[in-house]
Amino acid sequence: MGSLFRSEEVALCQLFLQSESAYTCVSELGELGLVQFRDLNPDVNAFQRKFVNEVRRCDEMERKLRYLEREIRRDTIPVLDTGDNPEAPMPREMIDLEANFEKLENELKEVNSNAEALKRNYLELTELRHILKKTQVFFDEAMYPPNLPPDQSAYFDDDDETVNLLTDVSLHQLKHIGIWLVILKPFEVRINSCQSTITTLVASTDGRDGCGGNLDGGSASLTQNLLPDEAKGPIQLGFVAGVILRERVASFERMLWRACRGNVFLRQAQIEEPLEDPATGEQVYKSVFIIFFQGEQLKLRVKKICEGFRATMYPCPEAPADRREMAMGVKTRLDDLNTVLSQTQDHRHRVLVSAARNLRSWMLKVWKIKAIYHSLNMFNIDTIQNGLIAECWIPVADLETVQLALRRGTEKSGSLPAILNRLSCVEAPPTFHRTNKFTRAFQALIDSYGVASYREMNPAVYTIITFPFLFSIMFGDIGHGLLMTLFGSWMVWKEKPLSVKKTDNEIWNIFFGGRYIIWLMGVFSMYTGLIYNDVFSKSLNLFGSSWHVPFDDETIRNNAELMLDPKEPKQYDGSPYPVGLDPLWQLANNKINFLNSYKMKISIIFGIVHMMFGIFLSLWNHKFFSRRLNIVCEFIPQVLFMCCLFVYLALLIFIKWVNYGAGPDVPIVLTPGCAPSILITFINMVLMKGYQQQSDNNPCSAYMFDGQYYIQMMLVFLALICVPWMLVTKPYFLHKASKQRAMLGTSGVEGGLEESGEPTTLPAQPAEDHDMGEIAIHQGIHTIEFVLGSVSHTASYLRLWALSLAHAQLSEVLWGMVLRNGLSTAGTTGGFAMYFIFAVWACLTVAILVLMEGLSAFLHTLRLHWVEFQSKFYDGQGYAFVPFSFDAILEANENAVTEQK
């Protein structure tokens, strides 16, 4: 029970371990998860510690496993997760793991390098096949254009297979090849009609280049020499063929045109199917190109441009027979490469499938080994006894469990038993709250503000009730609460399968982690919605209204507004609605005025009760830590100050609710018209305004009961006395005690015993001499903060009223402006319209009223707990107990791996 309301007792212990059993003992403590080790080597560099080599070996094994995991993910092979949690392997098993991982990595790297080389060869052969195919099309278009007559032999000479350039067909062929365009630029075509001369083009396959070919005079000439003897001689033409990325073709063509000044001719054709990049594995689209040029200068320039655009150039024979022969050889090699590639991929897949079966188990083992050696690096080395010395924090309730774990560790190693000694300390121990899946989320809310000081009152247990209740005051609606409850119930019901699924979606992780908070907020919102009698801005008439309308139809039609008088028995039964608000208030024009007054008053009442509860919790803290001076000098004046002002304000609200009413037998002085304003009464009380006489013409009194003025003056006087009481008394007594110790020459001890006289685990600290100036300043700040904070904090609880009113009005606006349009449309059209209008209304309700308004109410509730409630008693200056736990380490590592995917 003590661990529920305040943190558990934690003891500082010293641990002596033999070198042979240190590894196994730490492993057992990691499985237990109840020991937090202290670093005894804070000034030693991480690279100079004893087990740094083992940590590096673990890092190397982890790197190899991550490499295997990436390869497995790339092949979309599922990693087997049996849910087993293997034990940390012994140090001698670490060598076997390293050898196994090294073998797998080398084998996989070799397979990958071979596969990449094969894919690169396959890509080159595939590109060469497309080049041979596309260039053949280019040359076929030149030699056999589409309008070539069927009797092609009429244009060929059987002796030398030459074509007359003066024929129409020959000119058409050269136009298709485009060579004449290349020649036109460097050489003028001079046509002499009298002499019938023309520039000749010569093409030959005798001379070849490493990346293309040339065209010169020879036996395979396509020309008829009609030039005079002085103009005879061949013109050298070359071409380059290759492939380039499709998106670079346009810029490639522009660069060729500009760099070569239009003296080249480019033909390109797209490769329809995508090609696989062997380096990245991505599918890329490429195009085949062939460039014709003349001269060595242009040849070098074209090659440089191709290299700059990372185009791949391939040798392309000029003769059709050579191209056909090369194409057949390429096809044969492609078939062989396909066979080898499939066998390589099958071998790689088998290796990865085998590794995927054990990958998670290997990763868990490596993480555990690494965590153990990290912890061993925090120990001191006892060179005399050949052992290790550690200091650790252990919950007192688990000391026996830890000793059993140490015994199991020493039995595994077969060495001397470990020695565990409990130490006394001056340092404050860490704060440890034992939680479960239900209380963990509420404890996280408190720890987000600040971890509780050691053995301080834990607000989380009270937050389980107060947090969803204050949220529901702002979110009171049965319908919206039902939606939230259903969502929370679904997450609780599917808790196990949902918790297994690891995701890096932060919003979902927050929702799922707070599933019990969401469920409680929904349940409490349904309760307050029942009190408000509000369901999607409509009321439920469960018990029958206490109000009745006695008017006939004609009176109702002729009057825009009619008032019901509670004095009339025919209009009001005299008894209120059994639970919550009467449903008739939903139809009243003065509904907002009534609800404003009601919600504002209950907000003040709940706020005062909440703050007073926080002040009384400080009393338990003072009693536990034996701070009698704080009880006298802080708790009593704080309670007295709050009671004299704000508790009295809450009592005035109840007095007004009880004494004043509207009924047939109620005296006129107790009717609602004579009820004094509570706000004006409280302001007059604080300003000490004089006594207000009752007027003869006005039967109403300014006071609610006899003697109220004198009681209020007395309460204000007591409240004013509390201010110097908090400001002066504590510094005075501390200074007086310090002078007494100085005269006696002794130093006392604070916080060593409980009031029962039994020893505690609280750190015993010597009482120090206090500087009077520092004490006065600290106490002055504390007093001003409390006095002014009590006023501002009380007003801060009005946010309960404001958000509740805003939530109700937004719900009413959505109903009136959206859903009412669908309900008011008659006929078949109304049915179809209602279908879509309801969908819009439902989406807006969930998005705005449940999600946005729910988040707003959640944040305001969180502020009320952190500032208004916890500031009355919660110090929050501690640090969390973080045990050495394999479960926590593995969960953190798995989350990190999930985020990297």
Lowest-pLDDT choice from 4-13, 229-238, 270-279, 729-738: 229-238
Distance CA 158, CA 173 (A): 19
Pairwise CA distance, residues 797 & 507, whole Å: 28
What is the rounded CA–CA span in Å between residue 212 and residue 208? 7
Tens-digit pLDDT profile for residues 744-754:
765 444 443 34
**Taking residues 100-105, what's their average pLDDT?**
93
Q: Could you read off the pLDDT of 866-880 as tens digits, one per residue? A: 999 999 999 999 999
* Residue 582 pLDDT > 50: yes
Name the pLDDT band for 725 (thresholds 50, 70, 90).
very high
Lowest mean pLDDT among 298-312, 567-581, 628-642: 567-581
Neighbouring C-beta atoms of residue 48, cutoff 10 Å:
9
Residue 787: half-sphere exposure toward Cβ, Cα within 13 Å: 16
Structure tokens at 753: 């015993």
Map residue 47 onto helix, strand or coil.
helix
Instruction: State yes or no: pLDDT of 283 exceeds 60.
Output: yes
3-state secondary structure labels for all residues of 408-458: HHHHHHCCCCCEEEEECCCCCCCECCCCCCCCHHHHHHHHHHCCCCCCCEC
**CA 152 to centroid of chain Cα atoms:** 75
Task: Report residue 208's pLDDT band, with 50, 70 and 90 as the boundaries.
Answer: very low
The predicted model gives 527-544 an average pLDDT of 92
Report residue 293's pLDDT band, with 50, 70 and 90 as the boundaries.
Answer: confident
In contact, 369 and 65? CB cutoff 8 Å: no
- Comparison of pLDDT for 204 and 426, the residue scoring more: 426
Task: Identify the residue with better confidence: 767 or 676.
Answer: 676
Mean pLDDT of the region 697-723? 90
Give residue 4's pLDDT band: very low, low, confident or very high (50, 70, 90). Answer: confident
Q: Residue 188 pLDDT more than 70?
A: no
Label residue 166 by pLDDT band (50, 70, 90): very low
Pinpoint the alpha helices (H) of 156-295: 168-177, 179-184, 249-260
The predicted structure's pLDDT at residue 397: 92
- pLDDT score for 209: 41
Residue 834: HSE in the Cβ half-sphere, 13 Å Cα cutoff: 11
Instruction: Check residue 179 and give its pLDDT.
Output: 39
Q: How many CA atoms, within 13 angstroms, populate the side-chain half-sphere of residue 523?
A: 12
CA 365 – CA 374 distance, rounded (Å):
14
- For 177-202, letters b (16+ CB in 10 Å) and e give bebeebbeeeeeeeeeeeeeebbbbb
pLDDT surpasses 60 at 120: yes
Helix axes 799-814, 460-474, angle to 10 degrees: 40
- Radius of gyration from C-alpha coordinates of the chain: 46
Tell me the three-class secondary structure of 798-856, residue by residue: CHHHHHHHHHHHHHHHHHHHHHHHHHCCCHHHHHHHHHHHHHHHHHHHHHHHHHHHHHH
Question: What pLDDT, on the 0 to 100 scale, is given for residue 174?
Answer: 38
Sign for the pseudo-dihedral over CA of 332, 336, 341, 343: positive
| Residue keyed to tokens 């460097």 | 186
For the stretch 653-696, pLDDT in tens is 999 999 888 877 788 888 888 889 999 999 999 998 888 887 77
Q: Is the CB of residue 735 less than 8 Å from the CB of residue 743?
A: no
Per-residue model confidence (pLDDT) at position 770: 58
Closest CA to 619 of 605, 609, 606, 633: 633
- The yes-or-no verdict on residue 809 having pLDDT over 80 is yes
User: What's the pLDDT score for residue 413?
Assistant: 85
Phi, psi of 861 (to 5 degrees): -65, -40
Instruction: Phi first, then psi: give them for residue 335, nearest 5 degrees.
Output: -60, -45
What percent of the chain is predicted at pLDDT more than 90? 48
744 Cβ contact partners less than 8 Å away, ≥ 6 residues apart = none
Neighbouring residues of 533: CB distance < 8 A, sequence distance ≥ 6: 539, 540, 577, 580, 581, 582, 583, 585, 586
Q: Residues 784-807: what's their mean pLDDT?
A: 94
Distance between CA atoms of residues 68 and 74, nearest Å = 10
For residue 501, what pLDDT band results from cuts at 50, 70 and 90? confident
Residues 304-326: what's their mean pLDDT? 87
Burial class (CB in 10 A: 0-12, 13-18, 19+), 496: exposed
Mapped onto helix, strand or coil, the DSSP state of residue 395 is strand
Instruction: Give the residues across from 292 on adjacent strands.
Output: 239, 265
C-alpha dist (Å) from residue 325 to 132, 206, 232, 243: 10, 17, 35, 21
H or E, element range at 231: none
Helix (H) or strand (E) holding 287: strand 286-293
Residue in this structure with the two tokens 């003040």, named with its chain if needed: 604
pLDDT of residue 235: 54
DSSP string, 587-642: G-TTHHHHHHHHHHHHHHHHHHHHHHHHHHHHHHHHHHTT-HHHIIIIIHHHHHHH
Considering the chain, what percentage of its residues have pLDDT values greater than 70? Answer: 86
Neighbours of 657 (CB within 10 A): 12
- Residue 423: what residue type? L
Quickly state the pLDDT bin for 761 (edges 50, 70, 90).
low
DSSP element (H, E) containing 739: helix 708-744
CB 215 within 8 A of CB 179: yes
Q: What is the mean pLDDT of residues 611-624?
A: 95
Q: What is the three-class DSSP state of 92?
A: helix
Q: Write out the two tokens for 386.
A: 């050949």
Per DSSP, 86 falls in state: P
User: What end-to-end distance do the CA atoms of the chain give, in Å?
Assistant: 43
Q: In angstroms, rounded to a whole number, what is the distance separating the alpha carbons of residues 135 and 315? A: 11
Query: What integer is the mean pLDDT of 597-612?
Result: 95
Return the half-sphere exposure (C-beta side, CA atoms, 13 A cut-off) of residue 586.
18
363 Cβ contact list (under 8 Å, min separation 6)? 62, 65, 69, 893
Q: Which of 129-133, 139-143, 712-716 has the lowest mean pLDDT?
A: 139-143
Query: Which range is least confidently modeled, 293-302, 373-382, 559-568?
Result: 559-568
The rounded distance, in Å, linking the Cα atoms of 252 and 259 is 10
Which of 786, 851, 847, 517 lies closest to 646 in space, CA to CA?
786
Q: For residue range 884-899, what is the model confidence (pLDDT) as tens digits?
A: 999 999 888 887 777 6
Mean pLDDT of the 249-266 span:
89
Residue with the larger pLDDT of the pair 192 and 868: 868
Q: Which two tokens stand for residue 843?
A: 């989406």
What pLDDT score was predicted for residue 665? 79
**Cα(695)–Cα(691) distance, rounded to whole angstroms?**
13
What is the average per-residue pLDDT within 791-804? 95
Element (H, E) at 190: none
d(CA 17, CA 379): 10
- What six digits make up the tokens of 515? 């599933």
**C-beta of residue 433 within 8 angstroms of C-beta of residue 458:** yes
Residue 699: predicted pLDDT: 80
Compare 135 and 289 and report the one with higher pLDDT: 289
Spatial distance between the Cα atoms of 861 and 606, rounded to a whole number of angstroms: 13
370: which 2 tokens? 């690494």
Q: Are 344 and 115 in contact (CB under 8 A)?
A: yes
- pLDDT tens digits along 436-465: 999 999 999 999 999 999 999 999 999 999
CA distance 375 to 503: 29
Phi, psi angle pair for 620, to nearest 5°: -65, -35
Structure token digits, residue 775: 């004490």
* Among candidate residues 705, 645, 659, 653, the one with its CA nearest the CA of residue 677: 653
